[in-house]
Amino acid sequence: MSVYDDETKFKKAEHDFINEALANVYDNILRIEEKELKKSSFSDITVKEVHLVHAISLHEPKSASQIAKKMHLSRGTLTVNLRNLERKGLIHRTKNSQDQRVTDITLTKRGRVLYRAHNAFHSKMVDRFLAGFNLDELKVVKHALVNLQDFLDELT
């Protein structure tokens, strides 16, 4: 049994491990986000709604169409979603003064609090993801994610 074979076998095991890990991670994140919400002052908010709030973001007002595009939702679906976000006090809807067709969407104070809480969670997660790495190692991790994005972009 050569060193090459050992290395090959090792790589195969790592490959399987990483495959499994990638497949599991996202479901777990969603479940934990759901759980954390339930415990918080946002127990009336679903994970999907948090992701909508994330897409709206703190920055300039966005039109419904922009958000729909970003979230890959039909305009009809977004209308329903935005109505719910408004009902739950997360967003404001105002007519755009330049273009009367468009509705400007902005976060309310409550929406901004939720946005920041969600960001903090993700930030903590990335901290842990990268815990203990030096700059070179960090570049390796980044490179892997770039690889993945490239692969996905090719298939889009």
Partner DNA sequence: CAAAAAAGGTTTGATATTCAAACAAAAATA
Partner DNA sequence: TATTTTTGTTTGAATATCAAACCTTTTTTG
Q: What is the binding site for a copy of itself (CB under 8 A)?
A: 7, 10-11, 14-15, 17-19, 21-29, 31-32, 35-36, 54, 72, 122-133, 135, 137-152, 155-156
- DSSP summary character for residue 49: H
The 3-state DSSP class for residue 132 equals coil
Shortest separation between residue 78's beta carbon and DNA, angstroms: 7
Stretch that binds DNA, among 26-34, 68-76, 120-128, 145-153 (CB under 7 A): 68-76
Q: Which does 156 bind (CB under 5 to 8 A by kind): a copy of itself, DNA, none?
A: a copy of itself
Q: Determine whether 43 is exposed, middle or buried from the number of CB atoms within 10 Å of its CB (0-12, 13-18, 19+).
A: exposed
Other residues' Cβ atoms within 10 Å of the Cβ of residue 17: 10
Is residue 28 a contact residue for DNA (CB under 7 A)?
no
- DSSP summary character for residue 99: -
The answer to whether 91 touches 85, Cβ cutoff 8 Å, is yes
The 3-state DSSP class for residue 144 equals helix
Stretch that binds DNA, among 25-33, 58-66, 122-130, 146-154 (CB under 7 A): 58-66
Residues that bind DNA (CB under 7 A): 46, 48-49, 63-66, 68, 72-84, 93, 98-103
